[in-house]
Each structure stands twice: as structure tokens, then as C-alpha cells.
Structure 1
């Protein structure tokens, strides 16, 4: 634990701008390449459902469990009032969740804490693991967490830093795509049980406005996070 704490609290040299840009290009490929996105989108689902869970706990609701499904969907179940600010916060947290996590990671990287990014993500996944209620969700977290642990523990500092940048860029870039996909599905008459439509039922604010808000928050996080990552 002393070794981990020392690594987490020690700053690392920031990589060259070229490495940061290559990391961004690789992360973008994980988002835009058609055959890759259905797989990598599952990582966004982990962050999405984790954000629901955190919001539920912060708002005073009781978290009953989280399920991650093979079609890249997920479900977070919490107990408490079916209406009110707590329920609104819980529902609203999902889509901005990956972007906000990416923004936090970008802030750490801008200060040289690349290893801290990896270990914070590992800790978050370990806590999320306690709430998983289906086998696929368990498998997905283990399949994601084990490689992350191996990089955090055994890789060189340069490799750790590069991986941290790729993950951060991915979270920031990938967060923008799901709201677009959601609205596209809504236009075709689907996704009527989505977070945006449930929020519309609770607040009387149209679902399309909620989708626009998700997109605006995620785009703002991308812009701010990118400025931190690319700063000299």
C-alpha cells in the first residue's frame, strides 16, 4: 500500500505533445470506427451506470444494485421517493457521467498525476463491483479492471502515462456520442423509457431538452478537458 500511495502522490513528467495527440487519435478511433464502437461503448456504460449509482447515494437514495448488459445497456436500481430532486439527480447523472469522469482525469493529468488517474479508476471499479448484480456485469468489470491493474502495477512510467491519456481522451470523446444516438433513436419512436424521457415525466421539461443539456455538458467537458490535456 505504501508503494501504491507513493506512486499515486508522485507526479510524472508530462508526455510530449505528439504523444498526447497520438493518444487522442487512438481514443477517437475507439469512438468513431463502426466495428469498434459497439465494444468500447460498454466502457461508457460502466461510467454511465456508476454515475447513476453515485448520484443516488449522494441524494440520499438506497442503491439496490447495478446491471451491465451485453448489448451495452445497463440498469441502476435505487430505493426512495419516485419523484423529487433525488430522483431527478439520479436520472440526470448518467449521460454526463463519463464526461465528468474524463474531466476529472484531465485535471489530474494536467498536474502530472498520470498514475493517480489509473488507481482512482481502479478504486472506482472495485467499489462498483460490490453493486453488480449480474454475471455479465461482473465479467465486464473484471475484464476491464485486470488489464488496468497490470498496467498500473507493472508497466513503465511512460506506458502508464500514455494509457492514462488514452483513457481520458476516450471518456471525453465517447461521452458526446450517446446523446446523439439517444436522440436519433427517439426520433424513430424508440427509447421511450430513456433517462431523458423519464426526466421529462418528472419535470415536464421535454425529453429533447434534456438530451440537449446532456450534449451541451459533455461538449463543454470535452472542450475544457482538451484544453488541459494540450496545455504546454
Structure 2
């Protein structure tokens, strides 16, 4: 289902104006990775998937989305798995670590209005997953429409910029696990904030140019 849906969306967006502008995709490694992205709505999930196409991403999603039988089946079919955003416990971390060890990549939205209540725990969760799996985190930032219907506007473009990966496998072996997690969190926060400022500026300049 994920492959079919992402392929259809990829074709649609290619046909109607290439609205997804991807910056620094070369920074995304070939090996399994965790990608994190700033998050204020639902558009980012779609745009991140398109920017990384044809790679399939397994998304961490709030458990409430899986409460109904039909929604549970649907979200599992598009590679999403449930998490308690306010209290992500050890059992929550096992799923993404297992996916990464199987050669799959994982997507997490640890900040933004949608995840505001659980932002801090999810940032720690993302860092913990990276350390436990010994896989890199690729930070990304999004700027663009906040509503799905706005994605198809003539001048509506989305920008996603990727940053340098944070690879815990390169950390000193003298560091304790807790120290590695803290270091990943610090770097993730720093790089995400920088990326968001940069991509917001790029989007603003593009918007000004389109209005001339």
C-alpha cells in the first residue's frame, strides 16, 4: 500500500508543477536511518515521503490514530506504527530498533504544534533509538502549506531541507549510553533549529520571486 500510494503521489506532483523542493538529499545515507522533521500539520508526512521517494519510510504515529479497526489496518498498511507520544516507554522503542536492524528506515516528527505535548519525550526517544540501533539520525526541516488542499495551489511549493546526519557509531566508546543520548539530542536540536531558519528563508525568497 505504501509503495502504491507514494508512487501515485509522486506522479501527481511531478505532473502538476514539482511543488516539492528537496535540498541536500545527498546527505541522506544509503544505509538504514532515522529521519526527523519539523511538524506543524499533516502535510509534512506526505512531503517527506515524496522527498525520499522511492525509499519507504516507517512512520511513528500517535496511538490514537489506531483506535478504530479500519484506521488500525490503514495506518499499518502505509508503514505507520503506534506510539504513546506523552509516555513513550521501552516497548515503544523496540519496534523502530527492530525495523532499523532489519534494514528499514524510520521517520519521526519530534517537534512542532502537532507533537507539542510530547515533543521532549519524542526527541529523547529518537535519540535513544539512534543509540540503541547504532544508526544515524538525519535531521530535516519543512516549510510550505499547512493544509493538504493547499498543496495543489498554483504557487504552493513545499521545501524540505536535510542536514548532516548524526551518527552515534562515530562517538567515543568511552561515552556512556546516557551521554550518547544527550549528545544526539543536543546536536539534533541545534541542527534542526538551524535547518528551520534556513528553509524558512529559502521559501520566503522563492515566494517573493514568484510574486514579481
TM-score, reference length from structure 2: 0.28
Greater share of residues in strand: 2
Choose 1 or 2 for highest CA Rg: 1
